[in-house]
Amino acid sequence: RTHKITLIPGDGIGPEVSGAVVKILETAGAATGVSFDWHTYDAGADAFAKTGEYIPKALYESIEQNKVALKGPVTTPIGGGFASINVTLRKKFDLYSNFRPIKNLPGLKTNYPGVDLIIVRENTEDLYAGLELMIVPGVAQSLKIITEKGSTRISKFAFEYARKFGRKKIHAIHKANIMKVTDGLFLDCARKVAAGFPEVTYAEHIVDNTCMQLVMNPYQYDVILTENLYGDILSDLCSAFVGGLGLVPGANLGLDCAIFEAVHGSAPDIAGKDMANPTALLQSAILMLRHIDEAETADLVQKALEAVYTEGKTLTKDVGGTSGTKAFADAVVAAL
């Protein structure tokens, strides 16, 4: 079987981690009779330099056709410049669900062994709608958009996932004590959906308390259901339970298309130094393999990854090792 997949290597550490992941997937696929037809595109500043567009039309068309993309991180300039490529793609393809499993890998020691929680983040609304302006000099405004449709569909996603995979508890994370109308609407929708899933325990926590609760005892959480901004921040916090941003994968899921990418960004501090950990993107690729019904290949890659961590001899610096990106990828290939 051959799968056509849109590949966005990204910038910063993007080309290094995506190079590693492509190599690992090709090797695993060769063993299971699966091949990949990668359709590769730049996005962001690199794409602009080549095509005059931050997201080339051909990239949009490729995702529309292939329905599945694997994406490395893309740098977003602070302040002026261009709008986030990530946010733009998520909105364009209505990838309303950002699914981020936070699970310790066997063999890797962290301060929080055995954490296994999932963040389900609404991915198209909230303060990330990008509706900002300077009203008058010295006064800026950003609109927080929360809709019944957006809140209901992300809640349904979380509860249906919990039902399907036997997850017991969902916490809606909010700040409805202050943002009574927007976060209030989000909670109303979550409660209505929760009523249809009596087998899943439903609870609500305020986001600032949640930060403390997570650090004190992450084990009390199972599935976290939340809005776009809180989900973004909580994801980076939770990544620390499992070894940091080099580990945590993500899937941006819509009704039609899906883009798989790590939680981390382009990490300019370590870019081009053969230091980046490709595990986060590799685990995103494993989610992608399951999404395209290649469970056997997914399992194979997962086992090889776990073997490398269990052996613990070829790990990258972020998780206490001394190896580079390439050596780590080679170890996974060898384990395959």
Q: How far is the CB of 236 from Mg ion (least distance, A)?
A: 6
Residue 1: what residue type?
Answer: R
Torsion sign (Cα): 293, 299, 304, 306: positive
- Concatenated DSSP letters for 49-99? HHHS-SS-HHHHHHHHHH-EEEE------SSSS---HHHHHHHHTT--EEE
Q: How far apart are the first and last CA of the chain?
A: 19
What, of ligand NAI, Mg ion, none, does residue 246 touch, CB below 5 to 8 Å by kind? Answer: ligand NAI
SS3 label, residue 204: strand
Residue 183 engages Mg ion in binding (rule: CB under 5 A): no
For 79, residues 6+ apart whose C-beta sits below 8 A from its C-beta are none
Residues 294, 74: Cα–Cα separation, whole Å: 27
**Least distance to ligand NAI from the beta carbon of 301, Å?**
17
Integer Cα distance of 125 and 78 in angstroms: 20
Q: In the bound complex, what is the minimum distance in angstroms from residue 231's beta carbon to ligand NAI?
A: 12
Burial of 299 (0-12, 13-18, 19+ CB in 10 A): middle
Smaller CB distance to ligand NAI: residue 75 or 210?
75
Q: State the number of binding residues for Mg ion (CB under 5 A).
A: 1
Asked if 232 interacts with Mg ion (CB under 5 A), we say yes
Q: Which does 185 bind (CB under 5 to 8 A by kind): Mg ion, ligand NAI, none?
A: none
Q: Which stretch binds Mg ion (CB under 5 A): 5-13, 224-232, 237-245, 323-331?
A: 224-232
Which of Mg ion, ligand NAI, none does residue 199 bind to, with CB < 5 to 8 Å depending on kind? none
Contact set for Mg ion, span 70-129 (CB under 5 A): none
∠ at Cα 292 (99, 278), nearest 5°? 60
The nearer residue to ligand NAI, 146 or 245, going by C-beta atoms, is 245
Query: At its nearest, how many Å lie between ligand NAI and the CB of residue 246?
Result: 3
Query: What is the smallest separation between the CB atom of 261 and ligand NAI, expressed in angstroms?
Result: 5
CB 171 within 8 A of CB 209: no
Rank residues 89 and 300 by Cβ distance to ligand NAI and give the closer one. 89
Instruction: Give catalytic residue positions.
Output: 128, 175, 208, 232
CB nearer to Mg ion: pick between 236 and 296: 236
Q: What is the DSSP letter of 227?
A: -
DSSP 8-state code for residue 263: S
232 binds, options Mg ion, ligand NAI, none, Cβ within 5 to 8 A by partner type: Mg ion
Report the alpha-carbon distance of residue 211 to residue 209 in Å, rounded. 5
Closest CB to ligand NAI among residues 86, 210: 86
Of 18 and 239, which CB lies nearer to Mg ion in the complex structure?
A: 239
- Name the binder of 270 from Mg ion, ligand NAI, none, CB < 5-8 A by kind: ligand NAI
List of residues 6+ apart from 191 with CB closer than 8 A: 172, 202
Position of minimal CB gap to Mg ion: 232
- Which residues contact ligand NAI (rule: CB under 6 A)? 13, 17, 73-76, 86, 245-246, 261, 264-270, 276-277, 280, 318
- Interface residues with Mg ion (CB under 5 A) are 232
